[in-house]
Amino acid sequence: MEIRIGVQNVAREVVIESDATNEDVARLVSDALSDGGTLRLKDTKGRLVLVPSAIIGYVEIGTETPRPVGFVPTPGS
């Protein structure tokens, strides 16, 4: 799933692909914001992304269902 993190005073978002569930990511974000620590997320390639909670503007958590790949047949084809 795709996770987008908006960082305060920075125009670009931090975007990572993760195998974690929506609930796991939401819990990690909530924990980091409540204790003033660092948000620690691991992407699909095993890289660790660290974002200090003090600079997080927003976190957008994508859906867990994979998007279909390929073409959608049109009616009558």
Give me the CATH number covering residue 47: 2.30.30
Number of domains comprising the chain? 1
- CA-angle at 14, arms to 11 and 50, nearest 5°: 125
Q: Is 9 part of a structural domain of the chain?
A: yes
Q: Which domain holds residue 28?
A: 2-61
SS3 for 29? helix
pTM of the model: 0.78
pLDDT tens, per residue, the chain with 77 residues: 999 999 999 999 999 999 999 999 999 999 999 999 999 999 999 999 999 999 999 999 988 766 666 666 667 65
